[in-house]
Structure 1
Amino acid sequence: MKKKNQMTIVMLMCLGIFICMIDSTIMNITLPAIQEDLHTTLETSSWMLNVYTMTIAVLAIPMARFADMFGRHKFYLVGLIVFGLGSLLCGLSTSANFLILARFIQSLGAAMLIPLSMVIAVGVMPMEKRAIPLTLLGATQGLSTALGPTVGGIITEKLNWHWVFYVNVPICIIGIAACVCLLPLKQERRVEAKVDWGGLILSTTTLFAATLVLIKGNNWGWYSEKALTCYLISIVSLILFIVIEKKVQDPMINLSLFKDRQFLGSVLIVSAGFVFLIGVMVLLPQFLTRFQGKTELEAALLVTPVSAAIFIFSQIAGLLVKKIGFIFPVILGFIIMGSAYYLLQGLSVNSTSTEIITLCVLLGTGFSFIIATATIASTSTFEGELLTASQGVFSMLRQVGVVLAVAIFVGGLTNNINHNQEKTIQYATNQLAQLNLKEPERAQILQHTKDLLHSNKKQPIESQQLSKKQIDAIVKENSQNILSKMPAKQREVAESLVSKQVYNEVMKQQSEIKDYSKKVNDYGADKISSSFSSLYKTAVPFVFICALLGLTFRRTKKKEVATV
């Protein structure tokens, strides 16, 4: 194949990876707009996100296997068609259930495109030049994942959420035309094998149960009956899968993959890397909008440096891996990401844009070394069926890392917020006890505080003040009550004085309530915003510990690296 065509095909594969990975995070910013427009519950809306990641995780391995059996290029073309159709249906959605179905169709296409993009791109290059497509594909994966919230925020603000999906359609059409022109669709080599139905069913069951409990565990409870059932199904299915795969002639996954230290290291570091990347990309925009009062677009732009850093440093990381091997880039990547997490533990409502941009640059830089190393290492020296199988497993575990990140960080944040809300309510109760108010009034104000605290307002507490009309009504009512207890002859003389005294008391109460609201508001904002920083503080040592994963490559010889 001509060199010009080789690089054109690699860029076509980058296109496939880009549209699939950007759609895994592009809805993070747009979800509130979709929820408001379609009038959906938070539970229903979450499935618009989860069905995409879950389907890719479950079906990446079977789709990669079927591609070997029926033709990789044809499957890639079908993947583009399915993804484009799913995107069109997502844009046309007028109900939550239809959008979830459309996202499922879209994710079927993504489950084909993601592993095959890697396999086809690597396959068009000779073994000694694999680092070129792998570096480009690794950079594209990280860039598109981090760029998703920014693109979603811009499109939603300038157009509407429907266009978040519509933009994929012309891209897919261009990709389909390029496939027809560039890829040898006729008479391509296929693997003669029977479908491993047992492996297919058991692998799907294992991954479905595992990802389902990761997604729903926070709501169900990690030790609930439903969660325990998922654990049991996943473990039993996995054991049966391993037993069957060792015996069948044409297994769904060749288990010898996991004997390759280079491949094993790649799946470990890519899963860990995505956990720590998504842990920031999902939560940081929420912090910026809720506690710093940023618009969705402003929040998206502030996290854009993550994408820029990945795009720039992935190229450098790819060259570094080729020169010195895998160990040092992995260790360096996790140390830099750990530095970003160290800065995140100081996150507060007073954090400046410069501080946010700095930690985002560090995060993207660190991740670029991890994704570049993992992508190059994932192919090892595999060819043929093993190469396809490796990318199916690699894609699956990368998506599991995304699901795991959401489960860990969203679950941890929810627990932190609930704990700090309770602290804020206790603080509010103590403050109310010092006010000269009747018990029913205290109860009413406390309930108002609780309602605001559990709402999605950008500030946890707002001042509850009476209007002039309400104040006049209260003054009139209280004055009449006092005057009714006086002798008739004194009422006319005392009326003006009583009204003035009552008015002063009411205004004093309003001043006290205003001070109370400010104190509780400041306390609550500080406490609840600290839910984010304390979460990242807990994660800091784990990021640095993951640097040790670089040692999984310690027996990889230099000459093996040079042929990647």
Structure 2
Amino acid sequence: MDHKSNISSFPILLLMCLGIFICLLDTTIMNIALPAIQKDLNTTLETSSWMLNTYTMTIAVLSIPMGRLAEIYGKMKFFIIGLIIFAGGSALCGFSESGDMLIFARFCQSIGAAILVPVATIIGIESLPLNKRHISLSLLGATQGLSTALGPSIGGLIAQNLGWSWVFFVNIPICMVTLVIAFIILPFKKDIRVQAKLDWAGLILSAIGIFSLNLVLIKGNAWGWTSFVSLLCFLIFVITLITFIIVEKNSQNPMVNLNLFKDRLYVGATLAVSTGYLFLVGVMVLLPQFLTNFQEKTELQAALLITPISVTIFIVVNFVGFLVKKIGYVIPIIIGYLAVATSYFQLAHLNTSSTVSEIIVIGITLGVGFSFIISPATMASVSSFEGEMLTASQSVFTMLRQIGVVLAVAIFVSSITHEVESKKQNVISYAKEQTQDINVSPEKRLEIIENTKVRISSESTFGKVIEQPKVSVSERQDLIDKNVENSLSHYPSAAQEKVKKQITDQVTKQVDQEILIINRELKNYTDNVISYTRDEFSSIFSTVFSHALPYIFISILISIFYRKNKKLKINRIKEGTDLGE
């Protein structure tokens, strides 16, 4: 039956979009500023990775319980609480003086985000009546995609002009303005609450399970996917998932109503949001790496070159929302995955000579594809639900979106790591072949190869920098001394002193000519190995993107879930209604 919103207001929808924007912006805003943070706080690579991952992981773990708590104690009240926590966490981040402090601050910040994202989504959806819900869903979907895609560009601009601390400080005035507006326009008296007890068993099980899954996805590449710790995390996830399902089925106040997954549209929406963000974030992680390492772009230039993705999302996603209302979900979803596949095909042919215009076209194509996936997914995720089911649906939807982000980093970084190891061996084999053309001793040849191995093994350079080996001053003098000694041995002892200077001059001239030839050979060796290394390592990105193509085409099958089906008749739970009734 039709449901009239209790908080019908377009300004409220825009306010919720702003709350979501600043939270999801911070999932990627640190990426470009990270090198400056590492240098300033003198942190290790391990610590730096946790600065990024703590935020995403906490949102994934806490979005479901926070959504449920907001439902019990009041969504609008929780929106205010989330803003305050997020602003406080942002301030702590900006004032951090060590890596550990920044990780703790990011955790505090992410608690606020874990409240804001699901709660703001629900309030935003309910802010317009059912006959205008497609507008709220389109705007919310556009905000979610745009904020994630804009993060690197905004972070790069702020870090370069104001310093990395302002990447976090910029959130504070936005939160304060949002807070003031919220107190003015939010109808707190109309905030519907659910009279129910908190499902502590479900909360603990969901938190443990999602934490274990996220942890192994983040650390699995470093630990090894088949290591004891990784397998233990997977086992914990499976056990807690099975236990969670059993507990929720028998609970009168479930953390997540499992009837959600009886709705085919909702299942399709969750699959689409996970894969959509997986394919989007995969590009946003790898493409800047390619641009900085192989096209000599600065971090900021690389961030700006992927901005067309976010601009396209902002423009296209609202159009797709209206299109879905006219023609349904299936065709837009198929178009979306085909467009993403096209962008990945273009990425698979990316090379060191690719132009800026080619990269922009790739970004636009990906943005179009993502828009055609995420807009139907967002709309389908709420199409069958009201009240408590709507809140639960968006909490799970938020969690699965974050898992899609974590999956993207895990899968694409793991793929890059695997390909890098293979390419390193290719480069070393090539280097060994090239040393055969250098007229030096076997010992010197071995030294050249070992030095090349050291440079190639540097994970921070992608094998980009290889120092040119040279004949040193001491080696030159040793050659001169040995040749002089050898030449003098052919003279009687009495005559050696007389001819020593003459022989030394002749030998020095001869050795210098030989060194000139050797250095020329060494330069050719270095140039050849550098060129081969660049070609090999740059092809890694093409290989990874091409390997992803079959999975994008398989994802088109998700459109099957979007066929017309009888919607679940789930009435809105009125204030004071017990879930068990």
Place the TM-score, normalised by the shorter chain, in its bin: over 0.9
Q: Which amino acid aligns with 1:137?
A: L
Distance in 2, matches of 1:363 and 1:114, equals 24
Aligned-residue offset at 1:392: 0.3
Aligned-residue offset at 1:406: 0.7
2:358 maps to 1:349: no
Partner-residue secondary structure (3-state), 1:130: helix
Aligned-residue offset at 1:465: 4.8
Q: Which residue of 1 aligns with 2:578?
A: none
Q: Which residue of 1 aligns with 2:478?
A: 477
Match of residue 559, structure 2, among 538, 547, 550: 550
Q: Which amino acid aligns with 2:559?
A: G
2:284 maps to 1:275: no
Distance in 2, matches of 1:173 and 1:146, equals 24
Deviations 1:408-461 (A, max 9, x none): 101001111111011101111121133211233223222322222233237623
Distance in 1, matches of 2:26 and 2:315, equals 21
2:327 maps to 1:318: no
Superposition pairs of residues 112-261 of structure 1, within 5 angstroms: 112-186=115-189, 188-261=191-264
RMSD: 1.9
2:458 maps to 1:449: no
Gaps of 5+ in 2: 570-581
Q: Which amino acid aligns with 1:543?
A: I
Paired residues, what number? 557
Q: Which residue of 1 aligns with 2:577?
A: none
Q: Residue 2 and residue 252 in structure 1: after superposition, are their counterparts in 2 closer, same or farther (change >3 A)?
A: closer
2:107 maps to 1:104: yes
Deviations 1:337-360 (A, max 9, x none): 100000011011111111111111
Aligned-residue offset at 1:327: 0.7
Judge which range, 489-498 or 201-210, deviates more. Answer: 489-498
Q: Which residue of 1 aligns with 2:465?
A: 461
Aligned-residue offset at 1:12: 0.4
Aligned-residue offset at 1:2: 11
Distance in 2, matches of 1:172 and 1:183, equals 15
Deviations 1:203-253 (A, max 9, x none): 111111111111111111111100111111111111111111111110000
Q: Residue 558 and residue 77 in structure 1: after superposition, are their counterparts in 2 closer, same or farther (change >3 A)?
A: closer
Distance in 1, matches of 2:427 and 2:481, equals 38
Are the equivalent residues in 2 in contact too, given 1:291–1:458 (CA < 8 A)? no
Aligned-residue offset at 1:493: 2.2
Gaps of 5+ in 1: none
Deviations 1:294-351 (A, max 9, x none): 0111111111100011000001101101111111111100000100000011011111
Match of residue 12, structure 2, among 6, 9, 15: 9
Distance in 2, matches of 1:536 and 1:53, equals 24
Distance in 2, matches of 1:536 and 1:226, equals 29
Match of residue 506, structure 1, among 499, 509, 515: 515
Judge which range, 62-71 or 422-431, deviates more. Answer: 422-431
Q: Which amino acid aligns with 2:461?
A: K
Are the equivalent residues in 2 in contact too, given 1:292–1:349 (CA < 8 A)? yes
Moved over 4 A (4+): 1-5, 557-560
Distance in 1, matches of 2:43 and 2:13, equals 40
Higher Cα Rg, which structure: 2
Q: Which residue of 1 aligns with 2:44?
A: 41
Are the equivalent residues in 1 in contact too, given 2:384–2:568 (CA < 8 A)? no
Q: Which residue of 1 aligns with 2:575?
A: none
Partner-residue secondary structure (3-state), 1:282: helix
2:402 maps to 1:393: no
Q: Which residue of 2 aligns with 1:366?
A: 369
Q: Which amino acid aligns with 1:528?
A: F
Match of residue 532, structure 1, among 530, 541, 546: 541
Are the equivalent residues in 2 in contact too, given 1:291–1:459 (CA < 8 A)? no
Q: Which amino acid aligns with 1:479?
A: I
Are the equivalent residues in 2 in contact too, given 1:461–1:524 (CA < 8 A)? no
Are the equivalent residues in 1 in contact too, given 2:7–2:126 (CA < 8 A)? no
Aligned-residue offset at 1:550: 1.1
Identity of aligned residues (%): 50
Q: TM-score, normalised by structure 1?
A: 0.96
Aligned-residue offset at 1:556: 3.3
Q: Residue 293 and residue 145 in structure 1: after superposition, are their counterparts in 2 closer, same or farther (change >3 A)?
A: same
Distance in 2, matches of 1:553 and 1:514, equals 61
Are the equivalent residues in 1 in contact too, given 2:57–2:402 (CA < 8 A)? yes
Distance in 1, matches of 2:517 and 2:7, equals 80
Q: Residue 261 and residue 81 in structure 1: after superposition, are their counterparts in 2 closer, same or farther (change >3 A)?
A: same
2:496 maps to 1:496: no
Partner-residue secondary structure (3-state), 1:538: helix
Distance in 2, matches of 1:534 and 1:144, equals 28
Distance in 1, matches of 2:190 and 2:310, equals 40
Are the equivalent residues in 2 in contact too, given 1:60–1:111 (CA < 8 A)? yes
Are the equivalent residues in 2 in contact too, given 1:199–1:244 (CA < 8 A)? yes
Deviations 1:16-58 (A, max 9, x none): 1101111111112121221122111111111111111100111
Distance in 1, matches of 2:384 and 2:375, equals 16
Match of residue 293, structure 1, among 296, 299, 302: 296
Distance in 1, matches of 2:462 and 2:61, equals 37
Q: Which amino acid aligns with 1:409?
A: F
Are the equivalent residues in 1 in contact too, given 2:54–2:106 (CA < 8 A)? yes
Aligned-residue offset at 1:492: 2.3
Distance in 2, matches of 1:256 and 1:439, equals 72
Q: Which amino acid aligns with 2:114?
A: A
Aligned-residue offset at 1:506: 1.1
Distance in 1, matches of 2:267 and 2:131, equals 21
Q: Which amino acid aligns with 2:478?
A: E
